[in-house]
Structure 1
């Protein structure tokens, strides 16, 4: 066998060893999490729920942010030209929060400015409530998940000391090993809580930026209608 062939064989063996070690490590992690007890079931469910809500809201808010790009300029040009139907059509075709808000204002053109402002404000509140849908659940998960982890750990500690009482003596190895296993529940609950907390505030920041943009566009729209000759 040549030197190059020997090196290839060695590299293959090393690669297989790395893959085997990685697989074993993954299995050990899963097995360790399963040792956290029955409390790991609701904690896992909370993690799944938090991920679903975060990604669904993230995609929705990002879509709402991108879909109204350039809408205000189209509406402004049509209003200045006296083509309200074209402006309403542009708002309707945008299918965005800003578009629906401006469409509500355009449908009130001809009425007092206060009425138009009220219609836009009400439409804006409705759109914001749609964007914020289910975000508060992330805040609830951020508070509940760590408490569930602590509950699991406390029940585990109670079980350990009950076994110690039955055995009639303290085995340091058994106690420390049991505590190590039961602390998995606390660590898992804290991890899920932190992730949900980060997701909750990240989504709220996105919504706040979108609200600021909508308010700016609404003020510009009202100023446009309030201009002489509009």
Structure 2
């Protein structure tokens, strides 16, 4: 590997930096977009039990906001309870937009790396070809080692650009799809909690109406 990098000469340095940055983003998103971190499996049921037993208060809502992305959107549902559905819907939508942006963090940078890496490789290819033709103009075809050096620069940079771009593009598309899936599940669970609160509010109103009657 080191011999290949040396053969690529200085144009390969930006590709190495791009590869390190892309790998860091891939690993960070792999950690942050774990389903159990975004959507803890038991949280919705726990919040529904709090609502059923009347245990929802400011402290619990605050703890939910600090818990996870799912906790934040469930807290947005609880903030207005089942009383003001319009305000509740607006609050959930606003929270959902912010969560989507957080889940997509660094993905634009990863897509940019996938786009520019082949261009950087092409730049290295051009540099290698320039060196090759420069060697031909100075020594003719009698110095194959100089010709080989320029060709090596061209080929190594071409391969390096593709080596960085292809995995970056694959992971960029994969994480985009994963974010869409997670956001859809966040919205679904928020909707379930909103419906549950609405039903509880309706039952409470009916019970109060019966008592007044």
User: How high is the TM-score relative to the length of structure 1?
Assistant: 0.79
Aligned equivalents of 2:6, 2:88: Cα separation in 1: 59
Contact 1:79 1:87 in 2 (8 A): no
Per-residue CA deviations over 1:110-166 (Å, capped at 9, x if unaligned) read 641011011011111111111111111010000111110111011110111112112
Q: Secondary structure at the match of 2:34?
A: helix
2:197 is the counterpart of 1:225: yes
2:203 is the counterpart of 1:203: no
Q: Secondary structure at the match of 1:73?
A: helix
The structure with the larger Rg is 1
Mapping of residues 68-217 of structure 1, within 5 Å: 68-85=40-57, 88=61, 91-92=64-65, 95-109=67-81, 111-167=83-139, 169-171=140-142, 173-174=144-145, 175=147, 178-217=150-189
Of structures 1 and 2, the one with the larger relative CO (CA 8 A, separation 6+) is 2
CA drift of 1:75 comes to 1.1
Q: Secondary structure at the match of 1:84?
A: coil
The root-mean-square deviation of aligned C-alpha atoms, in Å, is 2.2
Q: Which runs of 5+ in 1 are unaligned?
A: 1-28
User: How high is the TM-score relative to the length of structure 2?
Assistant: 0.85
* Distance change >3 Å, CA 67–CA 218, structure 1 → 2: closer
The partner residue of 2:32 within 38, 60, 71 is 60
CA drift of 1:182 comes to 2.3
Contact 2:120 2:161 in 1 (8 A): yes
CA drift of 1:91 comes to 2.4
Contact 1:50 1:141 in 2 (8 A): yes
Of 149-158 and 62-71, more deviation after overlay is shown by 62-71
Q: Secondary structure at the match of 1:205?
A: helix
Q: Secondary structure at the match of 1:166?
A: helix
